[in-house]
Structure 1
Amino acid sequence: MPELPEIHALAADLDARLRGRTVERLDIFAVAALKTFDPPASTLAGGAVQSVTRHGKFLDLAIGDLHLVLHLARAGWVHWREEVPARSGRLGKGPLAARLVLAGGSALDITEAGTRKSLAIHVVADVANVPGIAGLGPDPLGTDFTRDVFLGILAAAGRAHIKGVLRQQSIIAGIGNAYSDEILHAAKMSPFHPAAMGAEEGGRLFAALQGTLRDAVERTRGLAAADLKGEKKAGLRVHGRSGEPCPVCGDTVRQVAFADSSLQYCPTCQTQGKPLADRRLSRLLK
């Protein structure tokens, strides 16, 4: 799933490609992906792209007086086409969910792999009308996201597991499964540590959060959409690397699996050398 650093880079890449271009039409192939009906997608035709920005994990294409908002979910992505493919996808078939066709012949394909479809496309007059955006917490790279603000968030979360707090979009926007693993590894903290913690621990976690996200954003700077997935995978130290040696201490990276996701961590770096039980709501083994 693309998270804040990848969405940040996608927004920058698409802004450079699309700003000032006129939209010819938006073709919808996966009808279920379009979550709005008023205004209709057809009203984007003739509008000029004003900007491409992000809100957490959401991409926001400002087109004329409207916004085309995309949430790529677990398996969604965008693909730039210098020319519109001669054969368009069939309605509801294949990974192609929508295609934004631009005057002059280029296009942006919006796709979703797999059978679990959760890609969301919104056409709105105000981005606040997108429920997911309206409920977002603060941006962790925003100037107003200070150490004190973060410590207040942790205190309010109480005994909740810190891994879940970092991933909760209504608490902090943009961090998902992968970067929460990376942040906690950098902070040398268990994913099941209570969110409420002392100022010293909280400050260390804040520094790890800022450093991890800013380093990832810097690595993706200037990359095209086609190169972002590979860069993300190459830059991860523990997430998705179960069974591999930790790059810090050499211990074996381990995994805790849940029904529909998993987390990875280093026992030596994060849990005082003790492995976590590989089951839901895991606790340190005694």
Structure 2
Amino acid sequence: MPELPEIAALAEFLQAHAVGAVVGRVDIAALSVLKTFDPAVTALQGRDVTGAGRFGKHLGMNCDGLWLITHLSRGGWLRWTDNPSAAPPKPGKGPLALRVHFFTPEGATPAFDLTEAGTKKRLAVWVVADPKQVPSIARLGPDALEVGEQEFAGLLAGTSQRIKTAIVDQALLAGIGNAYSDEILHTAKISPFANTKTLDADTVAALYEAMRTVLTDAVERSVGQDAARLKGEKRSGMRVHARTGLPCPVCGDTVREVSYVDKSFQYCATCQTGGKVLADRRMSRLLK
């Protein structure tokens, strides 16, 4: 799933490539992605692209006061092409969900596609006058790269849950997902199962610093990359996430995994849990 750094990079990419262009035809290949119907998505046609931005893990493109907002969810992505097909896509064929054509001041006719891999279709698109009209944006907590240290500490003090769960809760803190939460907790040397109520001031300070460092470094690596290369850039920067069975780059211990029904997270027992191996719920059920 694209998280804060990738969405920030995609927003910068649209700022560089789409701003100044005029929206041409908008093709809908999967009607299910549209979560708003008034104004219609066709209302974007003929409007100047005036900006792009990030709202948590949502990507937005400002079309002269009307916003196209998307949440890419787990399998979604934005693909830019300088030479799109002139023929409208056939609905229900392949991963394409929506295509936006542009006319640039230089006379070019590029487009971007919103695509979604996999069978679980969760990619969502809204057309709104104000991004806060999107319910999931209206519910967002403070942004993970804008929250101050004292506010961050107050947010954690106001909840009692596993820290892994807390920092991916978008209503508590916006922008962090499964991958970067693994990296942040590994950098801060905190167990994913630690309860927010048990964290002392020094641990919270270390967690805040790790969050800032991990996200800032990821944004710096990602911004300026071609949209097609962002996924590879994300994977290359990971130390524990999606590296089950590989050596931890800090201590050399084996990176371990805890699996649930449809997701998993990774951690290093030596760095984060004092050597204790966390219970893998999926394996526990299989062994019964």
Normalised by the length of structure 2, the TM-score is 0.94
Number of matched residues? 278
> Which residue in the other structure is 1:38 paired with?
38
State the partner residue of 2:83: 83
Give the corresponding residue for 1:65: 65
Q: CA–CA distance in 2 between the matches of 1:22 and 1:220?
A: 26
Aligned residue type for 2:275:
G
Q: Deviations over 1:155-198 (max 9, x none)?
A: 0012x000000100000001000000000000100001011221
Which of 106, 113, 129 lines up with 1:109 in the alignment? 113
Equivalents in 2 of 1:19, 1:227: separation in Å?
21
Percent of residue pairs bearing the same amino acid type: 53
Within 5 A, what are the aligned runs for 1:1-286? 1-103=1-103, 104-142=108-146, 145-158=147-160, 160-196=161-197, 197-279=199-281
Q: Which consecutive residues of structure 2, in runs of 5 or more, have no partner in the other structure?
A: none
The amino acid that maps onto 2:141 is G
Q: Determine helix, strand or coil for the equivalent of 2:265.
A: strand
Give the letter aligned to residue 62 of structure 2.
Answer: A
Question: Post-superposition shift, 1:25?
Answer: 2.1
**TM-score (norm: length of structure 1):** 0.95
Shift, 1:221, TM fit: 2.4
Residue identity matched to 2:245: G
One-letter identity of the residue aligned with 2:132: A
What amino acid does structure 1 have at the position aligned with 2:138?
Answer: A
User: Secondary structure, in 3 states, of the residue corresponding to 1:13?
Assistant: helix
SS of residue paired to 1:117: coil
Partners of 1:95 and 1:32 in 2: how far apart? 13
Equivalent-residue separation in structure 2 for 1:175 and 1:110 (angstroms)? 21
Q: Which moved more, 1:100-109 or 1:45-54?
A: 100-109
Runs of 4+ in structure 1 over 6 Å off: none
Matched letter for residue 254 of structure 1: R
Q: Secondary structure of 2:252's partner? A: coil
Cα deviation digits, residues 63-94 of structure 1 (max 9, x gap):
02200001000000011110222454311221
Instruction: Give the Cα separation in 2 of the matches to 1:249 and 1:87.
Output: 54
AA matched with 2:90: R
* CA RMSD in angstroms, aligned pairs only: 1.1
Contact 2:27 2:89 in 1 (8 A): no
Separation in structure 1 between the aligned mates of residue 177 and residue 145 of structure 2, nearest angstrom: 15
SS of the residue 1:157 aligns to: coil
Q: Distance in 2 between matches of 1:230 and 1:6?
A: 11
Deviation at 1:147, TM superposition (A): 1.0
Match of 1:246, SS state, is coil
